[in-house]
Amino acid sequence: MTIVSPELQSRYGKPARIVAIVGAAIMVFAPMVPWVYTGKILDDMRRAFDPSGLQILFELVALVLLGVLVTSMFGVKLGKYKNVVAWNSTALAASLGGLGYIAAIVLAVAVVGSQKGLGGLAAAEPGLWIALAGSVIASAGSVFLRKSPRATLAKVPSPAWVQILALVAVVAMVLFMAAFAVNLTEVESFLVCCVFIVAAVFVFRATGVMGWLSIATANNRKVLMLAAFAAAFIFPATQDGSDANMTVVAQVLIFAGTALGLNIVVGLAGLLDMGYIAFLGAGAFTAAVLSRSAYATFSIDLPFPVVVLISGTVAALFGLLIGSPTLRVSGDYLAIVTLAFGEIFRITMVNLDGTDGPNITHGSNGIPAIPNLDFFGFDFGKSHEIFGITITRQANYYLLLLVVIAIVIAVFANLNHSRIGRGWVAIREDEMAAEAMGVNTFTLKLLAFAGGAFLAGMVGAVKAYKDTSVTPDQFVFLESCFLLSAVVLGGMGTVMGVLIGATILKLLPEKLRFFDDYRMLIFGALLVVMMRFRPEGIVADERRQMEFHDEDEELADEVEEELVTHHDLLNPEGGK
């Protein structure tokens, strides 16, 4: 990103750095003095030398900025490599990010302050203005810094333990931020925190360490997975026995698990399914009908793992049933036909009420009062104390969902890198060519449908117990749309992307209840913006990135160079 011309940058580069350092120093100092005179706006920002959470986040940005500005003056080298990190770009991103963050806080103080009758911006203390001024000065200086050459960190060989340590640190950071963000109860605080997260991602990208991190990830995939799951398992401990947030997070997991199943169908095989929620429904109804609820129609006392398998199987059979006629059409036609089948499922569930058909689901009332799970005396309905940590009812189901999602991810990852996964990707890219190569396209597409449905059915079984009731109106068309949006927004064909997409689409509406009426509008706009600027989704599948930017020469070069370095580092002796 270049804002002022290169000539100006080279002429004023040196004084600009000093200006930026002064600005950064002011930013570092600002959180030490009060920002707002009352504790009723955002979190408690009224104390001196005792910064609140949101102030600490600003302090972090400021320290990174100052550190980068000062370090880069000494021309740091790692071995024979110069410019390991894109210092100047990082400084620019950090100062602009800090400015954006403080602007969001000023805006929040103005809006919330006047809403609560605290005088709007009159509630601000000098500290807020000092922080704003520091950010402006730092930004003004940073735009005059010369553009960094491409960071070379990815080429520096690093020992495995450094890579693992870095990955664990990243996971810990994500866990910390997630816990911090979820625990913010005020809407405005949560929004400000979201601004920080976006800014932090941009700063991180600007440093140019992403390339190195992706190599570290590729080398230590298992370690990263373990660390991520460990972090997810610790998460309930950050909630202090409160059920409210765990409810939201468990919902996010149900949504994410289903989206991962859809990712096989859409992301790998490239089949547009607009009625996918029906498979979650098939699983949920199966589990409900088999449960010990007084309203269950086939109540049998089966162990839960068996119920999960049966639910998955029923959903998969349903997938075969829908798939065998519909998979003869493709593209838009497939989307319309699956949409119709999704609705047919819901209406069928309404009609299986004893008057229009056999009584299986109690029609639109559904099956309520599903009793909690009981694993060898471990009652999922009660809170438990483990190592002094309270695991609430929702946390129990959250942990169970984590196990199910681990299974879903394991299935997905293995399929993705198998012969079958290759066949799916080939069908997605060029169905006729795949057929000519001997890929049995119809069977494979059917397998994608059934496999995706099986995973959704498993998640549905847990959903039935967690929600304690299953009704047809939980499985409306809109939910299918949201699932598809999560996959597209996050990045088709990737695990991490879909998890992020699902979190954004489910967590935001839960935390930001006030914009419930506008969420369709906002998500619609978000998708349009994404399709314009980053059609491959937040996390790009390497096999897909080229598909969307085949005319972008610069990206092609970048991908090529990345692949070559990547390859050389992964196979030091072979290849070239």
Partner 1 sequence: MMLEVKNMVVSYGRIQAVKGIDFDVPAKSIVTLLGINGAGKSTTLRALSGLLPLTSGEIWFEGERIDALPAHKIVERGIAQSPEGRRLFKNMSVQDNLMLGAFSRSDADGIKKDLDRVYDMFEVLASRRNEPAGLFSGGEQQMLAIGRAMMSRPKLLMLDEPSMGLSPIMTQLIMKTIKELRSEGMTILLVEQNAQAALSLADKGYVLEVGNITLSDTGKALLKDDRVRRAYLGAD
Which of 161, 222, 355, 436 is the binder for partner 1 (CB under 8 A)?
A: 436
Residue 302 C-beta: closest distance to partner 1, Å: 37
466 lines the binding site for partner 1 (CB under 8 A): no
| Nearer to partner 1 among residue 134 and residue 267 (C-beta) | 267
- 182 DSSP assignment: H
- Tokens 């100006």 identify what position? 8
Q: What gap in Å lies between CA 132 and CA 105, rounded to an integer? A: 10
In contact, 490 and 499? CB cutoff 8 Å: yes
CA of residue 375 relative to chain centroid, distance: 31
Which residue, among 195, 238, 235, 288, has the nearest Cα to 475 in the 3D structure? 288
In the set 186, 243, 343, 435, which binds partner 1 (CB under 8 A)? 435
Q: Is residue 236 within 8 Å of 246, Cβ to Cβ?
A: yes
> Which is nearer to partner 1, 264 or 426 (by Cβ)?
426
Is position 430 an interface residue for partner 1 (rule: CB under 8 A)? yes
Tokens of 333: 């036609």
Distance, CA of 563 to chain centre: 25
In the complex, what is the shortest distance from the CB of residue 507 to partner 1, in angstroms, rounded to a whole number?
A: 31
- Give dist(CA 458, CA 309) in Å, integer: 7
Q: Which residues is 36 bridged to in the sheet?
A: 124
Closest distance of CB 576 from partner 1, Å: 6
513 binds partner 1 (CB under 8 A): no
Selected from 199, 425, 486, 495, the binder of partner 1 by CB under 8 A is: 425
Q: Which of residues 230-269 bind partner 1 (CB under 8 A)?
A: none
C-beta of 516 vs 550, nearer to partner 1: 550
What's the closest the beta carbon of residue 432 comes to partner 1, in angstroms?
A: 6
Distance from C-alpha of 452 to C-alpha of 189, rounded to nearest angstrom = 38
- How far apart, in whole angstroms, are the C-alpha atoms of residue 333 and residue 318? 19
According to DSSP, the β-strands at 384-386 and 389-391 are antiparallel
DSSP-based three-state secondary structure for 38: coil
For partner 1, the binding residue among 159, 377, 438, 572 (CB under 8 A) is 438
How far is it, in rounded angstroms, from Cα 38 to Cα 128?
Answer: 13
**Beta-bridge mates of residue 470:** 367
Of 138-146, 315-323, 524-532, 560-568, which segment contacts partner 1 by CB under 8 A? 560-568
Question: How, if at all, do strands 378-379 and 384-386 pair?
Answer: unpaired
Q: Is 572 in the site for partner 1 (CB under 8 A)?
A: no
221 binds partner 1 (CB under 8 A): no
**Is residue 433 close enough to count as binding partner 1 by CB under 8 A?**
yes
Confirm or reject binding of residue 534 to partner 1 (CB under 8 A): no
Q: Which of 47, 205, 384, 422: binder of partner 1 (CB under 8 A)? A: 422
Nearer to partner 1, 317 or 569 (CB): 569
- Torsion sign over Cα 549, 553, 554, 557: positive
Pick the closest to residue 299 from 371, 401, 349 (CA basis). 371
Applying CB under 8 A, does 446 fall inside the site for partner 1? Answer: no
Q: Check binding of 215 to partner 1 (CB under 8 A).
A: no
Hey, is 353 helix, strand or coil?
strand
- Fill in the amino acid letter for 208: G
- 546 counts as binding partner 1 under rule CB under 8 A: yes
Q: How many chain residues bind partner 1 (CB under 8 A)?
A: 31
Residues 159-188 that bind partner 1 (CB under 8 A): none
Q: Is 553 in the site for partner 1 (CB under 8 A)?
A: no
Stretch that binds partner 1, among 263-271, 293-301, 316-324, 432-440 (CB under 8 A): 432-440
Our finding on whether 543 is near partner 1 (CB under 8 A) is: yes
Chain positions contacting partner 1, by CB under 8 A: 419, 422-423, 425-426, 429-430, 432-441, 543-547, 550, 556, 559-560, 563-564, 567, 575-576
